[in-house]
Amino acid sequence: MLSLPIRWRLTLWYSAALAVILLLFSSLLIVLSYQQLLARLDAELHEELREALVETELAQNRAEFDDNFLARFRDHGTFHFIVWDKNHAVVFTSSEITSDVTSHLAETPEGRDDVAVGTYRAMDGDYYRVASRLIAGPSGEYVVKTLTPLAPVISDIQTILALVAVLLPASLLLAFVVGYFLASRALAPVERIARVADTITISQLDQRIEVDNPHDELGRLAATLNRLIARLESAVDEIRRFTADASHELRTPLAILRSEAESALRKSRSSDEYQAALGIVVDEATRLGKLADQLLTLSRHDAGLGATRMDPVEIDPLVCDVVESLKRLADSRGIELTVQCDSQCVVHGSDIRLSQAFFNVLENAIKYSDRGDLVDVEVADRGEQVEVVIRDHGMGISAEHLDRIFERFYRVDPSRNSAIGGSGLGLAITKSIVTAHQGTIQVSSEAGKGTEVVMRFPCLPSRSERKTETDQVHDLPHA
C-alpha cells in the first residue's frame, strides 16, 4: 500500500473508515430494531395475558370458563391462548393452535408470582413469543399461556438486513468515488506546487508558487517553498556577484603583471628599470597572494571547514599584540594609537583567528584615518561578555553604506579603497570569525566624524572562579 499514490491511499483509508462506521451503525440498528419490536410485542402480549387472567378469575365454574374463553379467545387475531390444569390436561386452546404446539409448549416454565416471558421454537419449526402465568381457576390452579408467532418480527428484521445488504455496498461504492474526488481536489494544490517547482531552474529563480490560502497546511508549505526559493535566489545572486567581483579583483593585478613583464621584454632596459619593474611584479604578486588567501578563507568558512582548535584565550595580551604589530603602519601614516586593556577576560576560541579579526578592523581604522587622527582600542569586561572597541576619527561611513559593509568586495569608496590596497574582503572575514566564536559585531559611524566597531564575545569563568568551582566539586561528599 505504501507504493500507491497518496490520492489512492487517502481514498482507501476514507472508504475503510466509512465501511467500519457503516457496519457498526447497521449492526447497532438491527439490534436496536429487534429489541424495540420485541419490546412492543411483549407489551401487547402482557396485555392479552392480563385479559385472559381476568376472565379466568371471574369464571365461577368450569362451564362459565369454557363459554367465556370460547367467546373471546378462540379466534383472537395473531394472539393465541392455551390453558392447562394442575394435571397438565389441556383446558382450552385457540383454534389455530395444533397439538404439536400444545405438547411442546406444555414443558415451558410458568410464572408463579409474575409473568414469565420467553421465545420458543415449536415442533413445526416456527418461533413463538410466549407469556405464561400460574393462576387459580374455577377447578384448581390453571396455567394460562398467551403466545404469538415471531414471524412478523423476523420478517421486519430480514427486511432491514436486505436493505443493509443492498445499501451498504452502494454506500461504500459512492464513498469510494466521492473520496477519490475529494482526495483529488485536496491534492490539486500539491500537484500545482510540484509543476511550478519543476519549472524553476537556476536561471528562473524569480518564479514563485501561488499561495491560495496562507493559513492552511498547503498554504504554509507553499510559503515555505517560496522562502526557500528566495534564499536560493539570494545565494545564487551572491555567488554570481562574488564570482564577478573576484574575477575583477584578479584581473587587475594580472593585467599589471602582464603589462610590466611585456614592457620589460619589449626592449633592453637599465638595471634600475628592471628592478623597478620587478618591484611592481612583486607587489602585485603579493597582492594576488593576499587576495587568494582571503578567498580561500571565505570559501573554507562557507564550506564549514574553517573550524580550528578552540582553547581558552586571554583577550588583553592578544589585542595588545595586534596593536603592537600595526604600530609601524600607524606611525608611517601619522596616526596615533592608544590602547586600554584591563579586562582580564578569557574567551573560548582560536587566538590566530581572533587576531586576524582584530587585525582587519584595526588596519581599516588606520587606513581610513587622516594624518594626525587618533585611533582608540579598548577592551572592557561587561560581566558575561568581553567587549573589544576600535574607534577612529577618520572619514566615517554614511548611513546608506552601513548595512552592506560586511558584504564581500563591497567598498564604501572604491577609488580610495583601490588607492590603499583594500580588496573589500576584510570585514566579511572578520564577521565570519566573530560569528564562529558565538560573538557579535556592530558598526556605528557618521560621515566625517569617524567609525566605532564593537565586538562582543562570551567570557569564560576566571581562573579563580574555575578553581573555586573545581574545589567545590572535589569537596562534595562521595556516595
Say which CATH number the domain at 40 has.
3.30.450.160
* pLDDT score recorded for residue 319: 92
Q: How far apart are CA 210 and CA 219, in angstroms?
A: 9
Same domain assignment for residues 315 and 406? yes
Cell 501561488, residue located: 210
Is 395 contained in some domain? yes
Q: Note the pLDDT of residue 125.
A: 76
Residue 297 and residue 390 in one domain: no
State the pLDDT at residue 307.
Answer: 53
Mean pLDDT of the chain: 81
| pLDDT score, position 469 | 43
State the pLDDT confidence band at 290, using cuts at 50, 70 and 90: low
Predicted local distance difference test score (pLDDT) of residue 409: 66
Q: Is 334 in the same domain as 279?
A: no
Report the pLDDT value the prediction gives residue 111, as an integer from 0 to 100: 65
Q: How many domains does the chain have?
A: 3
* pLDDT above 70: percentage of residues in the chain: 84
Q: Are 454 and 475 in contact (CB under 8 A)?
A: no
CB 447 within 8 A of CB 454: no
Owning domain of residue 95: 6-156
pLDDT category, 304, cuts 50, 70, 90? low
Domain-located, residue 390: yes
| Higher per-residue confidence, 134 vs 279 | 134
Any idea which of 30-44, 85-99, 232-246, 367-381 has the lowest mean pLDDT? 232-246
Domain-ending residue, one of 156, 181, 204: 156
207 within a domain of the structure (yes/no): no
In terms of C-beta distances under 8 Å and separation of at least 24 residues, what long-range contacts does 323-329 make, across chains too? 323/362, 323/377, 325/359, 326/359, 326/362, 326/363, 326/366, 329/363, 329/366
Q: How far is CA 261 from the centre of its chain?
A: 63
pLDDT surpassing 50 at residue 474: no
Of 2-6, 133-137, 327-331, which range is least confident?
2-6
199 falls within a domain: no
Region at 411 (left for phi over 0; alpha for psi -120 to 50; beta for the rest)? beta
Copy the grid coordinates of residue 160: 432491514
* pTM across the whole model: 0.49
312 and 279 belong to one structural domain: no
CA pair distance 75, 79, nearest whole angstrom: 8
Q: What is the pLDDT of residues 42-95, one digit of tens each?
A: 999 999 989 988 888 888 888 888 888 888 888 888 899 999 887 788 889 988
- Report, as an integer, the average pLDDT of 367-383: 89
For residues 333-353, average pLDDT: 88
How many whole angstroms separate alpha carbon 169 and alpha carbon 22?
A: 10
- Would 1 be classed as within a structural domain? no
